[in-house]
Amino acid sequence: MSTKGVGRMTPVVGSDDGTRYHKDFTLSITKALGDQLAAALGELDRAPLAEESIARLKEKPGVYQLYLNGEFVYVGKADKSLPARLRNHLRKISGRRNISLAEMAFSCLYVAEDFSALAPEQLLISHHKGMGDIPWNNNGFGNKDPGRQRDSTVLKENHFDVMFPIDLERPVEGLRAGETTLQELLETIKVGLPYNFRYGKSAEFKARRVHVPRAEMTADEVFQLVSAEIPAKWQVTALMGYVIMYDDSPTAYRSAWRYYRGGQPIRAVPEAEPPGNAEVDPPTLDD
Residue 245 to residue 229: CA distance in whole angstroms: 12
* Backbone Cα Rg of the chain: 27
The pair phi, psi for residue 119, each rounded to 5°, is 55, 65
Lowest average pLDDT, out of 20-24, 178-182, 205-209, 231-235, goes to 20-24
Q: Which one-letter DSSP state was computed for residue 70? A: T
Q: Distance (Å, rounded) from C-alpha 149 to C-alpha 244? A: 12
* Per-residue model confidence (pLDDT) at position 51: 98
CATH of 30-138, one of 3.40.50.1820, 3.40.50.720, 3.40.1440.10, 3.30.420.40: 3.40.1440.10
The pLDDT score that the predictor gives to residue 122 is 76
**What is the residue extent of each domain of the chain?**
30-138, 148-267
The pLDDT tens digits for 83-138 are 999 999 999 999 999 999 999 999 999 987 656 555 767 778 777 776 667 889 88
Pick the closest to residue 65 from 106, 9, 34 (CA basis).
106
Length of the chain: 287
Distance CA 180, CA 211 (A): 6
Does residue 165 surpass a pLDDT of 60? Answer: yes
Cis check: omega of the bond before 165, within 30 degrees of 0:
no
Write the DSSP string, 133-190. --GGGGTTTT-----GGGTTPPPBTTSHHHHS-B-TTSBPTT--SEEEEHHHHHHHHH
CA angle at 45 for the pair 43 and 47, rounded to the nearest 5°: 150
DSSP β-bridge partners for residue 77: 63
**Among 44, 36, 60, 64, residue whose Cα is nearest residue 284:** 64
25 band by pLDDT with thresholds 50, 70 and 90:
low
The answer to whether residue 4 scores a pLDDT higher than 80 is no
pLDDT number for residue 130? 63
What whole-number percentage of the chain has pLDDT above 90? Answer: 66
Q: Is 194 left (phi over 0), alpha (psi -120 to 50) or beta?
A: alpha
